[in-house]
Structure 1
Amino acid sequence: MTDETRYVYDPTRAVDPLGDLEEEGEKAAKRNRAKVGSARPSSLLYTYGPGSIMDLPQFTVMPTGLDDWDRIWRRRDSPPLTIHAPRLREVVRMMLRSPDVQLRPHPWQPKKHSRSAEGNDLGVPARVFPQWLRCTGCDMLGMLSQFDYKNTHPFRTDLATFEHTKCTGRAGSRARGTMRRPAVPARYLLACADGHLDEFPYELWVHRGQPCSRAEMPALKMEDRTAGKGASAVIICASCDMRRPMNEAQGEAGKAKLPQCRGRHPHLDAFEPKGCRNTTKLMLVGASNLWFPATQSIIVMPESQQEKEEDLADRIRTSLGEKLAKYRANLDMIRDLLEDRVDVTQLSDHELAQAVEAAVAPPATVEEQEEKIRDWDPVDLLVPEWRYLLDDFPGSRDEDSKSGLTLAKRQRGQRLQPEITRVLAVERLRKVNALVGFTRIDDMDRVGDLPRRLAPLTRTPRPAWTVATEDRGEGIFLQLEEDKVAAWEKHILDTDLWQAHREAHRRNFERRFSETAGQVNPDSRLKPPRYWLVHTFAHILIRELALTCGYSAASLSERLYAWPAADGREPAAGLLICTTASDSDGTLGGLVQLSDPARLERVVASALRKARRCSSDPVCAMRIPQDPEDFLHGAACHCCVMASETSCERANRFLDRRFLLDLPASNLGYFTTNE
């Protein structure tokens, strides 16, 4: 372990697929190509980021940590591209505890046509994981080195595969001699709550923790005749005839039979120097709880004068580095050094001097940084957006070329619900999303009280950058009447229904936060009634808008502005329904068209009318969590309110139709209707 890393790591085993390819070319060996697949930027951020397991047609790979991505960037003389989003960048720096973090896109370049060579030197490095494979012909279970890799077709990455070259088939088969058979990943892994992941120790498992009595390197097999039924395989040692089923590793009884976590981060090819004290959990390669991204995102808004000054000072500081302190008093030299990096030609000497002084200001101390992290609320990212969306701009349309945000005022239709006070057509928007880490077994918003559970993206303690994406699209913004929301919320807080939701949340919290429930008040994590209201309203609108806007419901997403008044923060009650795309110049305008007064009236009226009834009623309408139940929704199900995971920011939690409308045996609805 070096001073530059906090993990036990062997640099001689670094992942460098393009470098390996060049070495193979110099040897005049049969060429196995480096590229094994492709994915959209959004999937590489939310589904298959560093540390996740990506399914390819023939095997699985794991995108590596960002340290290995640097080798890709360094293959070009030009500096890496960056994404400009100062407000998000500052939050990412705070969360990663690194003052110089930049936001970079994935290393990719578009091609002029499918067979051209542009961007061949770019790509996301990945390693094969898990590295235990099973032959589909003879059930041989072995490490990667026991199989032959084949990837020779330049335009068919789906043909890349590992093969058992001398497969004899299963006992009793009619096959004669040997033949090549494809190998597939052995699907069992070990994970722990702190984000570590490891291969399953098949050899120790079948021999019950002891070495094989007949062979130093025993021949293993995995017999699996009931695929898709959990841990149904049987591990067999062909050398000593011992066998052990994998179902012994399942359930509460199986926990005691699994080894302690070794503290391995396979995406970093590193181990925790002090190991890990956790017990492990049996996982399958395709398990949905194997990788949860921890991301932050913003809708980019026009910068205030203060934000512009802070961003300029930051760019000067990061561009000049140590030279800044040396030449801070020589403005001419500063201008020369910044000539090709930061445009300061329009600044007077006085303005430049102020920017330089701001750039050389001492950074926050470690104690101040930790205090800032403790006090930070994710809502702080939403407040500037809410304030800007409420500003009354002159004219009917407001366009900002730098941020890409274009807003248009919409008149309220005479028949639009009176509880909706403001409507904006967001004709163009830019959303920036950044990855700050990931968790395993449980989502980040459930483990936020344990910082160690956030698995790192780099071996270095202070990363210089993190991966981000830019999405462009359109949307509709609606604001609810604050006075009525406040009065409604005050009433809801005193109801038996809200007390039932509070108790269900407490039970859910304590079961999920077993190690920290005693130190954190569950009510501090419970969303207020206005959030349930706005959230449920957003979901029924997504369902209704999808019927006529031309986009599927899974393509629409919500951005919720719902919080009570707090120090330095005015109350909010509103929502933005938007659709964005990361690999195009925007969207087609079908959603914005529905902000037309007459059309929006019909959409809202129809959404509320349909929300009044559910095909699962009366069960759905009367659902209230009772002890020992801990679900975080009330009158809401997949038949009436719940949305796809791409649309919902809270995984379908905090939803209840009774907060929207008066349902049978309930008069708690915020909206008044004619029915």
Structure 2
Amino acid sequence: MTDTVPEMLHDTADALDPLADVDEGVVKNRAKVGSARPSSLLYTYGPGAIMDLPGFSVMPAGLDDWEPIWKRREHIPTIIEPRLLRVVRLHLGPQVDALRPYPWQPKQGALSKEGDDLGIPARVFPQWLRCTGCDYLGPLPRFTYTNTHPFRPDLARFTHKSCPGRGGQRAGATTRKRESPAVPAQHLLTCTNGHLDEFPYPLWIHRGKTCPKAVSPDLKMRDANVGRSVGSTIECAACGARRSMAEAQGAAGRDKLPQKCRGRHPHLNAFDTDCDAQPALIMMGASNLWFACTQSIIVMPTDEKAEALADRLRAELGVEKVTKYAAQLDFIRELADTAHIDLAGVSDDELAQAVAEVVAPPVSEEQRHEKLAAWSPIDMLVPEWRYLQKPPLFAQQPNSSGLMVTEKQRDPKLHSRISRVVAVNKMKKVNAFVGFTRLDELDRVGDVPSRLVKLTRNGKPSWVPATEDRGEGIFVQLDLPAVEAWESTILGSKLWAAHRDAHRRNFRRRFSETADRDIDPDTRLPAPRYWLLHTLSHVLIREMAMSCGYGAASLAERIYGWRTSAQREGAAGLLICTTASDSEGTLGGLVALAEPARLQGLLANALRRASRCSSDPVCAMRTPSDPEDFLHGAACHCCSFASETSCEKANRFLDRRFLLTLPSADDEPVPGFFGAPGEL
């Protein structure tokens, strides 16, 4: 992780190349200031997010600024996965050529410098800091950067030199220099279009005007005394003006803020000139400051050799070069050999097919938007579901895909509505980062992907960051005919009507200016079978965590639950897995639970625990009614909720009454899929 100390706060022409600047002895950019795991950079601290370091905060830069880092290597590695790349192109455009890992390289030894010239560029943000010694509030150039220890990037910090302290200088006291550390000022402005900007402290304290006594007055940020007011107070040292930050909070405070957003993208060091949204106050550590938008697939054995080869040629050689020499296959082979692409087992016909795939004209923007409007995340799950339905192929599956599965025999005592169990001995999951949003997560509001904040200054990246996770898991499939019969009963129940109405209220009432009001909320409501599978997944995760050797937060779910339609056949299954991006797999503790006797006992215990909750009967009878709009029923932290790293729907769409027949407040209990607790 690297950062920059810009000379001007809003210089859109400022290029970020910290490693090159350090090599040339330039003081502006600084070297390594921290580190993060690939999974953190993908889901928590990607481009546009704020990463808290020990001394200050940084924001990973956009992909334009990653290019100078990559150019320090002759060969840029890529992750070849055609199925995922197609989805990324659908979202971001046909110009996306590759999925790239993060610019990181492991060291060969403790004293090795291998990989020191790689890293993620980042900018210091927020760029208004507050002195911890005297409460001085000012822009970045008014503070001094110190990082004297070459092997301790955590000691990097900004300081306020000659800090007088809060008490000032006493009469007759000896003059002594004081250097106090500075911390980021926590107030920011954001808008529904994903822009983020510094809070205009000088304009705020002078109520939109300039200070009458100084051009650039010194400001102080005072903490409010407990019990007196909420938030901090800003003071002007020149004219004595004071104003509380509490006035900027809430709907009333928003009217006192600037009425037009400046369109700033700090991660790009650029501005959009056409933003018409009204900015709102947001705190630096707010959970809705940054939401990652990612797509992921499980790699499977496929026959898409031409597409995979085309992706490699496109990524390693470039479309222009392949197009130029498309008719000269021998020369293409020479270029591929130079780029370390092995074509030894590729025939001329296969190579010609891959070249044709590269040079084929891209679809028009109108066609892409039409396909994107009709696209559903379920489309990525359908091939995985279909593959898992073909047990005869498991013994002949090639290991190159990273997927190894074993169909398990059913224990005679296993519940009859569990039709199949598959042990996933080895799996590889590829995740791609396609953008981010602010204020609202994209899938929470169900609106259009145009809300994604751009990753490059022109909005058309030629590649996106991606990671490869390896691990293990267990696939459990329910009896499809039984699921369909049960679901038809649930669809006519009062409980389902209550959940449907709550979902409609939630969709329309949500405090969001980003939701697409033209979307029918019912099209975003998962079917009852999804609620069933999702609740079953959560109770299994909680039970498995006590036996597999992994914490519950390390287990993740992948739900295959959708009804039959004209586009796809119905599905009812779930995969519980654990993966890691920095190892060749996991320890086998989870997949060992797929053994017939162990799984039978585990499922029985999970359902038995799900039949009771320490919050019952309140939890068991919880049903949303107007004006309530929560998206769960008989589920809570005591019985069904899982950590955010485990759940794919943020603990929504859960109800234990779909698993088991539980008492009902209206004397009309819905039939649980697995029957009554006494029948287990």
Same-fold call, TM cutoff 0.5: yes
What is the deviation of 1:84?
1.7
Q: How big is the shift at 1:461? A: 2.9
Alignment match, 1:5: none
Distance in 2 separating the partners of 1:186 and 1:125: 22
Name the residue aligned to 2:148. 152
- Out of 23, 42, 51, the residue aligned to residue 48 of structure 2 is 51
- Determine the structure 1 residue equivalent to 2:4: none
Report if the CA contact (8 A) 2:98-2:463 is conserved.
Answer: yes
Q: Residues 56-113 of structure 1, C-alpha deviation per residue, up to 9 Å, x if partnerless?
A: 111111011011011111122x221111211111101110113333111111111234
Post-superposition offset of 1:363: 1.8
C-alpha contact 2:98 2:314 (8 A) present in aligned 1: no
Q: Is the 8 A contact 2:408 2:595 kept in 1?
A: yes
Q: Which aligned pairs between 1:334-483 and structure 2 lie closer than 5 A?
A: 334-341=332-339, 342-393=341-392, 397=395, 399-483=397-481
Per-residue CA distance 1:96-132 (angstroms, 9 max, x = gap): 1133331111111112344421111011111110010
Counterpart position of 1:14: 15
- Native 8 Å contact 1:194 1:452 kept in 2: no
Distance of 1:425 and 1:227 partners within structure 2: 57
d(CA) in 1 for partners of 2:81 and 2:227? 44
Moved more, 354-363 or 561-570: 354-363
Counterpart CA distance in 1 for 2:553 and 2:519 is: 34
For the Cα contact (< 8 Å) 1:398–1:407, is it kept in 2? no
What amino acid is aligned across from residue 585 of structure 1 in structure 2? E
1:270 match: 270
Moved more, 252-261 or 95-104: 95-104
Counterpart of 1:656, as a letter, is: D
Partner of 1:209: 208
Q: Which amino acid aligns with 1:125?
A: P
Partner of 2:545: 546
1:40 aligns to what?
37
Check conservation: 2:50, 2:58, Cα contact below 8 A.
Answer: yes
Rounded to whole Å, the distance in 2 between the matches of 1:291 and 1:99 is 25
List per-residue Cα deviations over 1:447-467 (Å, max 9, x = no partner).
442444211111123211111
Instruction: Tell me whether 1:628 sits opposite 2:631 in the alignment.
Output: no
> How much has 1:172 moved relative to structure 2?
5.8
Aligned counterparts, 1:25-36, within 5 A:
34-36=31-33
Q: Deviations over 1:142-183 (max 9, x none)?
A: 111111101111111111111111100113676853301000
Instruction: Tell me, in whole angstroms, the C-alpha distance in 2 between the residues paired with 1:230 and 1:642.
Output: 36
What is the deviation of 1:310? 2.4
Distance 1:660 1:228, change over 3 A: farther
> What amino acid is the match of 2:243?
R
Matched, 1:598 2:597: yes
Q: Match of 1:88?
A: 84
**Aligned counterpart in structure 2 of residue 131 of structure 1, from 127, 130, 145:** 127
Amino acid at match of 1:597: P
- Trace 1:484-523 onto structure 2 (pairs within 5 A): 484-512=482-510, 516=515, 518-523=517-522
C-alpha deviation, 1:308, in angstroms: 1.9
1:356 is displaced (CA, Å) by 3.2
The residue aligned with 1:104 is 100
Structure 1 residues 81, 136: closer, same or farther in 2, change over 3 A?
same
d(CA) in 1 for partners of 2:627 and 2:99?
44
CA 1:430–1:619 in 2, change beyond 3 Å: closer, same or farther? same
In 2, distance between residues paired with 1:277 and 1:529?
40
- Name 1:312's counterpart in structure 2: 309
Q: Is contact 2:306-2:351 (8 Å) kept?
A: no
1:74 & 1:32 partners in 2: Cα distance? 18
Q: Structure 1 residues 85 and 517 mapped into 2: Cα distance closer, same or farther (>3 Å)? A: closer
CA distance in 2, matches of 1:622, 1:577: 28
- Number of aligned pairs? 659
Q: CA deviation at 1:336?
A: 2.8
Q: Distance in 2 between matches of 1:32 and 1:464?
A: 26
Describe the SS at the equivalent of 2:83. Answer: helix
For the 8 Å contact 1:398–1:406, the answer to whether it is kept is no
- Read off the aligned partner of 2:620 and give its amino acid letter: A
Give the letter aligned to residue 262 of structure 2.
R
Is the 8 Å Cα contact of residues 632 and 653 (structure 2) preserved in structure 1?
A: yes
Structure 1: stretches of 5+ with no match in the other structure = 1-8
On the 8 A contact 1:231/1:250 being kept in 2, the answer is: no
Q: How much has 1:393 moved relative to structure 2?
A: 2.4
Corresponding letter in the other structure for 2:23: E
Q: Which residue identity is paired with 1:119?
A: G
Q: Distance in 1 between matches of 2:415 and 2:13?
A: 66
Cα shift readout 1:649-670 (whole Å, capped 9, x = no counterpart) = 0000000000000111224200
Classify 1:155/1:511 alpha carbon distance in 2 versus 1 (closer, same or farther; 3 Å): same
Q: d(CA) in 1 for partners of 2:396 and 2:598?
A: 22
1:670 aligns to what?
A: 673
Distance between the aligned counterparts of 2:429 and 2:228, measured in 1?
A: 41
Specify the alignment match of 2:647 in structure 1: 648
Of residues 98-107 and 66-75 in structure 1, the stretch that sits farther from structure 2 once superposed is 98-107
1:228 Cα deviation (Å)?
A: 13
1:71 aligns with 2:74: no
**Structure 2: which amino acid aligns with 1:165?**
K
Q: Tell me which residue corresponds to 1:291.
A: 290
Query: Residue 404 of structure 1 aligns to which amino acid in structure 2?
Result: G
SS at match of 1:421: strand
* Cα 1:176–1:281 shift into 2, 3 Å: farther
Structure 1 counterpart SS, 2:161: strand
Q: Which residue of 2 aligns with 1:3?
A: none
Q: Is the partner of 1:322 in helix, strand or coil?
A: helix
Given the two structures, how large is their TM-score scaled by the length of structure 2? Answer: 0.93
The superposition leaves residues 232-262 of structure 1 with CA deviations (integer Å, 9 ceiling, x where unpaired) of: 1000000000000000001111010011211
Query: Cα distance, 1:435 vs. partner?
Result: 0.6
User: Per-residue deviation at 1:334?
Assistant: 3.0
Do the aligned partners of residues 228 and 197 (structure 1) sit closer, same or farther apart at CA in structure 2, a change above 3 Å counting?
Answer: farther
Considering only aligned residues, what root-mean-square deviation do their CA atoms show, in Å?
Answer: 2.2
The equivalences for 1:214-253 within 5 A come to: 214-225=213-224, 232-253=231-252
Q: Is the 8 A contact 1:562 1:574 kept in 2?
A: yes
